[in-house]
Structure 1
Amino acid sequence: MRRKHSWNVMVLVLLISSLVLPAVPVQAADHPSLPSVLIVYDSLGMGTKHEGNVEALKRLLASFRVQVTAESVDSYTAGSLNNYSKLIEVRNRSDLLEEQSEFFKDLQSYQGDFLYIGERPRDKLAQMLGLQVQAVQKVADLSIGPFAEKSISVPYFFDSKQAEIRRYGTLKVQALGTSYPYAVQRGAYAYVPFMERDTLSEIAVSYVLKDWLQEDQKSHYFLVFKEIYPFSDLSLLERMSDELFEAGIPFIVSVHPVFNNTDYPAMKRYMNTLKYVQSRNGTVLVEAPVVASTIQDLDRSLYHQMEHFIDVLAQDGIVPLGMGTEMYWSYDEHYVSEGMAFFDSVILFPDARPIYKAKRNRSEAFPSSLYSVNPEFLKRYLADDRLIKPLPMDTAITFNFVEKESELESLVDGLKNSWITFEDYKTEAHSVKTETNELKSERGSLVLNGVNLGIQASHVETSSDYVYKQHGQKSFETWFTVQNKIFIVIIFITLVVFCGFLIIGYRMYKRKFYK
């Protein structure tokens, strides 16, 4: 038993090591050209309530399939604004003197679409939208769509008398007994007085963005499970797949890749489970490998490692349809060209621990990009439990995969009783290409190299009797064994003789002492 356990531990160590991402050379990626937006911000608001709002805005824009360039006022290069037809200005500071900045000079002649996020709108914007701003520090309740947040501090209220103006949400001030819009938009111009990360205002901005970007595509909810590894509880994953399939709930699993030891039984069990998940109307995505900040540069290529894992999946009849990763990957030349080049569909999770290799201020846009949101975040602001209409963008309700049966039961029961309708990811067009394989979805079907795949699969047991290290040919094994035994006997006899001399010497010394 102990020997078998030691082999299992060794397998886990080898698999874990293959999940870690080393540094690799850069190659070029090619994705279709998509609309672009320039974000200019005066501050990232570190240490204030505005901290993180620029990152949240960038992730929202990605879900609308927009390429984003983000830079501060200080780093802005004169003339850059001429390259963009859409501009978002984020104002997190009220004490910044900007009259001499290059951005302010270019802004005076800018004629493109303009969205302003901040307390004091530009004079031109206020005139175009007919804004009447009141600087009154009050507490208000924010509501938009099926969501509501109570008692938030609002320094400015505004309204507009223009008939063509489009209003978003409501700020209800109990102390004044009046209501104001959260944001307004008219044609190419829009104004949002404040945006804070992980609050309802983050979701509220998405309603404004959809109209301002003139996005008319229908949006959906998708159910996503991430943090799935070869050493996760695979039997629990199969059980969850069965229960969701029986409940008629389509789902997505974002699985961590394995770059080495792909012929080991542990890897085979991983592949068998993913194939079974796929047969239960589950969709497989490849999650970004773990990035270790302390790892040494190795003679490996992330591009070929990712390609190898995709090909291993394809060889077992598994069709991944996209990639799941933290957003900062799409702002890194290294990760975009090496790790994301195979995919036209992604889910961008919030950044937890960004570790850049070749950071840039421009994002990579994808034809399909889901906005990931924690289910607890939505529940926090739901006004009631009625049927929840989709958010303005395609949204992934994201769970970390459970570790206990009790957690699974609670999770599945909650999903069965939920009013959210989840869409099947396969009904939309997604494509993954390597040099060897082309994997895609067409109207709900999985296609591997032009062949429609059936989704039937059964539980397949993988034998644990496996030689993890092949034994080389042995020469003179018998002779060396006999030789070792002879040496052991000689050493033992020598120790006995030595002990005998010690005893004799001790007795002789003792007699001499008595005399």
Structure 2
Amino acid sequence: MRKSFGIPRTTMLIVLAFALACTIVTTGPASAANSPASTADPVLLLYDSLALSTSRKGNVETLERLLAAYGVPVAVMAFDRYAEGTLKSYRRVAIVRNAPDLSANGALASELAAYDGDYLQIGGQELPDRVRAGLGLKLAPAPMDTIRLEAGDYGQTLSTVADLDLIAGTSFDAKKYGTLTSMSDGRRTPYAVSAKGFAYACCLSADSLTELALAYVLKDWLSAAGDFGAYVLIKEIYPFSDLELLKTLADKLYDAGVPFTASVKPVFYNTNYPAMQRYLQALQYVQARNGSILVDAPAVAATSTVGDGSLRGKMSGFIELLAANGIAPLGMSASLFWTYDKVYASQGMTFFDSVFLSPNADGQHVQSTSTSAAFAFSPYVMPFAQFQDFERLSVAPRTPLPLNLALSFDLFPDAASMDDAVDAISRSWIPFADLKNGTHAVRTDRLTVLSSGGSLLIDGKPLDIGKHERAVDEHYAYTAAAKTSFAKLFGIQNRILMVIIGASLAVFGLFLFIGYRRYRRKFQYPGGSQ
């Protein structure tokens, strides 16, 4: 049975303020020599426009995260910033065409025409002749229409798509992916094709089934091997979250047989406070209920020129604090932009070989770079609500996922929304994977955390993930007692004064009693009372 510990509301508010402040750190410039290394060849990603005012907004970032899910470093560059000779340094290039009226010209156009590496393009009719011939590709512009996409085991009706070029023909040996159906005339065409190191996909938009559809193409284009799995990811867990609700969630997922991963905010200060002890106990409980722990990226206050360079020490300190309390973190979760910053990669991410990358949120670069850091294991994070928008097709047997996919939830605000989500997870067809069954490593200067085959080890010693709750001091002194002088003397003086005052009151009361008696007799008849 779990025991709940309560604290006064005012004390809780003080603790919350400290907890919010503890995740804000400052960073300073650092060498990229310590950045996570990748054995995969980097991909050069070129785009004509970010399409900020169209339905394609965010598709460049989406492609970056998809490539990162295969452990591939990505160098990103706009057409108008292309430097002559850059293509020669890359074996693979991916082109995103969002604006039909913007063409590659000058050095880029000539180098693309002569490029002999692997080539992927998303959208647009302008392709190198070699690529067009290799795919036997014929494209036809489509009128603005509502399009239905089917890919793998899923289908989705996309909103009206403009400037879409459909695949009207392709070579016999080209592999086809997915199906696009024009809702106005029922015309069916492939979503994408690939052959001989070349690939072409009709479109890509954020928050749609095109993300998963393109992943099937990328898997073959990158020659990615291995089995892929789906993971449940719970985010936005703080020391001041409803920890009892978190424990209840862990119980419900455990009872449903669903392994899950919890991304927890790090705490760098006041780690001896009772609020922090409750936080650690809640994480112990989550781990005991078949949950795996990730360290979420902290909020970083940074400037481009000045900082104290403390991020590395704070991150390693939090990892070691978790390990000291029997909690084994297996990776990190962060926004994509962290991988494009030399300081964040070298100071904050270098401990991990497994990182869950989410879409970019508000944040500030310290020392940005155009080439991302890559990791051996980096599931593609997608909100579960978005995944629920995909229609499950009656296809058997089940089509394997083309990449590691993390379906995410923010920690729920109340029990009702939690119950709804757990019910949806339980009813889904997805066989969720347990992160602990994979091989993951977290290393600081003082310790190593490993997982493999469902076991957790800290410095080579198996970890007991049983539930261990220690009592939390409810009378913790949040501030040190002030130094006092002559405390004993004043204490004796106080007791003497209390005795004198007490005796005076007793004498005064006695005089009142005697006076009352004498005054009463004065009005009585001699023969008895009136």
* Match of residue 75 from structure 2: 69
Which of 432, 438, 444 pairs up with 2:442?
432
* Match of residue 505 from structure 1: none
* Match of residue 153 from structure 1: 161
Q: Distance in 2 between matches of 1:258 and 1:24?
A: 19
Q: Distance in 2 between matches of 1:198 and 1:398?
A: 13
State yes or no: 1:261 paired with 2:261: no
So what's the TM-score if we normalise by structure 1?
A: 0.88
**1:264 aligned partner, one-letter code:** Y
**1:412 aligned partner, one-letter code:** V
Please give the residue correspondences for 1:9-48 in structure 2 after superposition, counting only pairs within 5 Å. 9-27=13-31, 28-48=34-54
In structure 2, the residue corresponding to 1:181 is in which secondary structure? strand
- Aligned-pair CA distance for 1:405: 1.6
Change (3 A) 1:188 1:260: same
- CA-to-partner distance for each residue in 1:356-393, whole Å, 9 max, x for gaps? 12111100000000100011211112234888655311
- CA-to-partner distance for each residue in 1:227-284, whole Å, 9 max, x for gaps? 0001111111111111211221110000000000111111111111111111111100
- Aligned-pair CA distance for 1:135: 2.2
- CA-to-partner distance for each residue in 1:390-422, whole Å, 9 max, x for gaps? 531100010001121222222222222221110
Which of 7, 14, 29 pairs up with 2:11?
7
Q: Distance in 2 between matches of 1:73 and 1:342?
A: 35
Computing the radius of gyration from Cα coordinates, the structure with the larger value is 2
In structure 1, the residue corresponding to 2:412 is in which secondary structure? coil
- CA-to-partner distance for each residue in 1:196-225, whole Å, 9 max, x for gaps? 112222221111111111112211000110
Q: Distance in 2 between matches of 1:460 and 1:419?
A: 39
State yes or no: 1:141 paired with 2:148: yes
So what's the TM-score if we normalise by structure 2?
A: 0.85
* Match of residue 255 from structure 2: 246
Q: Distance in 2 between matches of 1:133 and 1:299?
A: 55
Between 396-405 and 239-248, the greater mean CA deviation after superposition: 239-248
Q: Distance in 2 between matches of 1:479 and 1:461?
A: 37
Which of 272, 276, 282 pairs up with 2:281?
272
* Match of residue 509 from structure 2: none
Change (3 A) 1:276 1:175: closer
- Aligned-pair CA distance for 1:432: 0.3
User: Cα RMSD between the aligned structures?
Assistant: 2.5
Equivalent pair of 1:385/1:419 in contact (CA under 8 Å):
no
Unaligned runs of 5+ in 2: 1-6, 493-530
Equivalent pair of 1:67/1:363 in contact (CA under 8 Å):
yes
In structure 2, the residue corresponding to 1:116 is in which secondary structure? strand
State yes or no: 1:227 paired with 2:231: no
Change (3 A) 1:382 1:299: same
Q: Distance in 2 between matches of 1:273 and 1:8?
A: 17
Equivalent pair of 2:328/2:458 in contact (CA under 8 Å):
yes
Q: Distance in 2 between matches of 1:8 and 1:431?
A: 35
Q: Distance in 2 between matches of 1:303 and 1:33?
A: 24
* Match of residue 414 from structure 2: 404
Q: Distance in 1 between matches of 2:8 and 2:185?
A: 72
Change (3 A) 1:142 1:354: same
Equivalent pair of 2:38/2:71 in contact (CA under 8 Å):
no
Q: Distance in 1 between matches of 2:183 and 2:241?
A: 50
Which of 124, 128, 140 pairs up with 2:130?
124
* Match of residue 96 from structure 1: 102
State yes or no: 1:109 paired with 2:119: no
Q: Distance in 2 between matches of 1:158 and 1:30?
A: 39
Equivalent pair of 1:256/1:288 in contact (CA under 8 Å):
yes
Q: Distance in 2 between matches of 1:8 and 1:297?
A: 34
- CA-to-partner distance for each residue in 1:465-495, whole Å, 9 max, x for gaps? 111122243224589999xxxxxxxxxxxxx
State yes or no: 1:455 paired with 2:465: yes
State yes or no: 1:196 paired with 2:178: no
**2:389 aligned partner, one-letter code:** R
In structure 2, the residue corresponding to 1:324 is in which secondary structure? strand
Q: Distance in 1 between matches of 2:307 and 2:274?
A: 26
State yes or no: 1:178 paired with 2:183: no
**1:440 aligned partner, one-letter code:** L
**1:243 aligned partner, one-letter code:** K
Between 119-128 and 244-253, the greater mean CA deviation after superposition: 119-128
Change (3 A) 1:173 1:13: closer
Equivalent pair of 1:386/1:419 in contact (CA under 8 Å):
no
Between 338-347 and 413-422, the greater mean CA deviation after superposition: 413-422
Unaligned runs of 5+ in 1: 483-515
Equivalent pair of 1:137/1:156 in contact (CA under 8 Å):
no
Please give the residue correspondences for 1:459-478 in structure 2 after superposition, counting only pairs within 5 Å. 459-476=469-486
Change (3 A) 1:442 1:334: same
**1:187 aligned partner, one-letter code:** K
Equivalent pair of 1:23/1:296 in contact (CA under 8 Å):
no
Change (3 A) 1:478 1:297: farther
Change (3 A) 1:479 1:438: same
* Match of residue 316 from structure 1: 325
In structure 2, the residue corresponding to 1:217 is in which secondary structure? coil
Q: Distance in 1 between matches of 2:303 and 2:415?
A: 35
Q: Distance in 2 between matches of 1:446 and 1:80?
A: 44
* Match of residue 51 from structure 1: 57
* Match of residue 223 from structure 2: 214
How many equivalent residue pairs?
Answer: 481
Q: Distance in 1 between matches of 2:468 and 2:255?
A: 16
Change (3 A) 1:172 1:6: closer
- Aligned-pair CA distance for 1:295: 13
- Aligned-pair CA distance for 1:149: 2.2
